């Protein structure tokens, strides 16, 4: 007996909310970035669930693209974080309020 | 059996996600992220997306989290953060309220009977062949332009990361100002030589 898709959707909704909460609550830039990855994973789970429910491979292809874009995003984001750490040795998001350091 | 896999993997995913948010040490957050990623990969397998589960483990757990840990170790920020300190007034209660609203909205949207759309006729999952063949045949026909665009995106990301993370002699983030003068000074001699 297969698990209904609604349970997967509920689980991914909870995962997305935990990621959003972490993004709002935490101050460490790296942990905030990890919370963004959590939210991306929750959305990926939703895509795969809908692909199964609607019997369409397009949902899985879209997850593939999300994975590629997430990898590129992590590379650029971590490079920005490294550049910020070089100019000021602190990890809290409240201190990074200027576009030009 | 399906329910067992779902419950175990779902609980692992939730525990890992809570670990990411609640851990005071960024390294522990990264480990919680690995746990969630593996659990989501198990859920992918449970839904028949074997290729995506493999890619999830290889790309996310293998590359992205390792990159995170690299940056954590490189910058030396693996010290603990005091979670009880609240920098902004009333920011945390508002964050909880907003998150609860988001959860309500997403759960409402995810109600099964609201799912619209007809089952696919052109690219169904059910039928002969593995999911790898189906993803490949869809990716290289209907989504070929998007696939090529992602290759351009990856090149741009690599170039951007190199430019951003490069350490310049002057200590600045960019070296455009330092690179410009030599070309100007180098131009007049070639003109005189041509004359």
For the ranges B27-41, B92-106, B177-191, the lowest mean pLDDT is seen at: B177-191
pTM of the model: 0.82
pLDDT value at residue A87: 75
- Radius of gyration of chain B from Cα atoms? 25
Q: Which one is predicted more confidently, B108 or B89? A: B108
Nearest to A67 among B14, B59, B126 (CB): B59
The answer to whether residue B3 sits within a structural domain is yes
| pLDDT score of B45 | 93
Q: Write down the ipTM of this complex.
A: 0.89
* B131 belongs to a structural domain: no
A28: β partners: A92
Domain boundaries defined on chain A:
29-92
d(CA A7, CA A2): 11
Note which residues in 9-68 of chain B have CB less than 8 A from chain A: 10, 13-14, 17-18, 20-21, 23, 26, 29-30, 33, 36-37, 40, 43-44, 46-49, 51-52, 55-56, 59-60, 63-64, 67-68
Mean pLDDT of chain B: 80
Higher pLDDT, B162 or B172: B162
Burial letters for B120-140: b for 16+ Cβ neighbours within 10 Å, e otherwise? beebebeeeeebeebbeebbe
Identify the pLDDT of residue B164: 85
Residue B95 lies in a domain: no
Which CATH number covers residue B26?
Answer: 1.20.120.1200
């Amino acid at each position: 007996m297969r698990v209904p898709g609604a349970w997967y959707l509920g689980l991914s909704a909870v995962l997305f909310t935990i990621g959003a909460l972490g993004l709002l609550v935490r101050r460490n830039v790296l942990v905030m970035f990890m919370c963004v990855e959590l939210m991306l994973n929750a959305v990926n789970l939703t895509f795969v669930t809908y692909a199964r429910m609607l019997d369409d491979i397009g949902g899985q292809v879209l997850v593939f693209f999300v994975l590629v874009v997430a990898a590129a995003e992590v590379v650029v984001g971590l490079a920005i974080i490294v550049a910020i750490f070089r100019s000021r040795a602190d990890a809290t998001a409240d201190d990074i309020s200027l576009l030009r350091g | 059996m399906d329910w067992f896999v779902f419950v175990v993997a779902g609980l692992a995913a939730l525990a890992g996600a809570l670990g990411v948010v609640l851990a005071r040490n960024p390294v522990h957050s990264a480990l919680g992220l690995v746990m969630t990623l593996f659990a989501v990969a198990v859920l992918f397998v449970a839904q028949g997306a074997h290729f995506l589960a493999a890619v999830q483990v290889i790309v996310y757990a293998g590359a992205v989290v390792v990159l995170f840990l690299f940056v954590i170790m490189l910058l030396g920020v693996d010290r603990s953060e005091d979670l009880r300190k609240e920098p902004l007034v009333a920011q945390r209660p508002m964050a909880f309220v907003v998150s609860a609203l988001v959860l309500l909205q997403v759960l409402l949207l995810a109600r099964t009977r609201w799912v619209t759309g007809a089952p696919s006729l052109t690219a169904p999952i059910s039928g002969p062949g593995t999911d790898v063949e189906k993803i490949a045949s869809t990716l290289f026909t209907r989504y070929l332009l998007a696939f090529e665009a992602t290759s351009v995106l990856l090149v741009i990301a690599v170039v951007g990361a190199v430019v951003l993370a490069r350490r310049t002699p002057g200590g600045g983030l960019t070296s455009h100002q330092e690179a410009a003068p030599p070309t100007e000074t180098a131009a007049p001699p070639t003109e005189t030589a041509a004359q």
